[in-house]
Amino acid sequence: MKFTVAIDGPAAAGKGTISRAVAAKFGFAYLDTGSLYRAVGVKALEVGRGVIDPVIAAQLAGSLSQTDLDRGDLRTAMAGQAASKVAAIPEVRAALLEFQKTYARRDGGAVLDGRDIGTVICPEAEVKIYVTASDEIRAERRHKELVQAKPELTVAQVLNDLRARDDRDAARDIAPMKPADDALVLDTSDMDIAEAIKQALTLVRSVYDGT
Ligand code: C5P
């Protein structure tokens, strides 16, 4: 049985939480595709001592290991920025394409979250959701996640960081972040996470017959 749930949208809109809930509810596998770009980004920064070389980034994307994906520093703001820089390099995206396409159509169903899942990775996905929320709300949510590890971080810094990343992700030539024409747009600005999950589950249930 192949069944793909594509969940796209800007940073900190709630994609990850919604995706994990959908995967757990229906017994689907889950891939956080942002972690692939984050792993390439931090490694490229390390190898280039702070400077990202596109050729090296593409090589790293072609040889990512589980150890790279298990690093503890992938969720930092710096990793997010590095991810969005390497994500604009066509050769990096090409190197990660096949793995994601295969994952999306694996047997037993899959949920993938990212920026281009419904448009590029799996345009044939049975369910497409574009999760969004206002910039300010997303910055507050992300700030709550990051502030324990970095107490000096302000909401304004997080907001700037998110906007820079969103602008880069939406403006790039290759696989820009945008809702697929047939995606349901779920604006979570005025919803708590329980309500957002409920709406996503209802949508998947309306399409998935469980076989
Ligand atoms: O989802 P997350 O915030 O972890 O993604 C980090 C970055 O990776 C994004 O800002 C984006 O540049 C890139 N990305 C992408 N395509 C995806 C997933 C993530 O370009 N499918």
**What is the span of the domain harbouring residue 145?**
4-205
What are 88-120's pLDDT values in tens digits?
Answer: 999 999 999 999 999 999 999 999 999 999 999
The domain spanning residue 58 has which CATH number?
3.40.50.300
Nearest CA to ligand 1 atom 13: 84
Whether residue 11 has its Cβ less than 6 Å from ligand 1: yes
Residue 211 pLDDT > 90? no
In a domain, 183, yes or no: yes
Strand 184-187's sheet: what is its strand order?
A: 29-32, 110-114, 4-8, 127-132, 184-187
Q: How do residues 141-191 score in pLDDT, each as one tens digit?
A: 999 988 998 999 999 999 999 999 999 999 999 999 999 999 999 999 999
103 found inside a domain:
yes
Phi, psi of 72 (to 5 degrees): -80, -10
Quick check: is 211 in a domain? no
How many folded domains does the chain comprise?
1
CA angle 101, 105, 111 (to 5 degrees): 90
Please report whether residue 145 resides in a domain.
yes
Tokens of 64: 């990512």
Single-letter residue type at 32 = D
| Spatial distance between the Cα atoms of 126 and 194, rounded to a whole number of angstroms | 23
Q: Is residue 187 part of a domain?
A: yes
Grouping H, G, I as helix, E, B as strand and the rest as coil, residue 188 is coil
pLDDT of residue 209: 81
Alpha carbon of 37 to ligand 1 centroid (Å)? 6
Ligand 1 centroid to residue 86 C-alpha, Å: 10
Give the mutation target among 33, 64, 128 for probing the ligand 1 site: most ligand atoms within 8 A of CB: 33
Give yes or no for residue 21 having a pLDDT over 80: yes
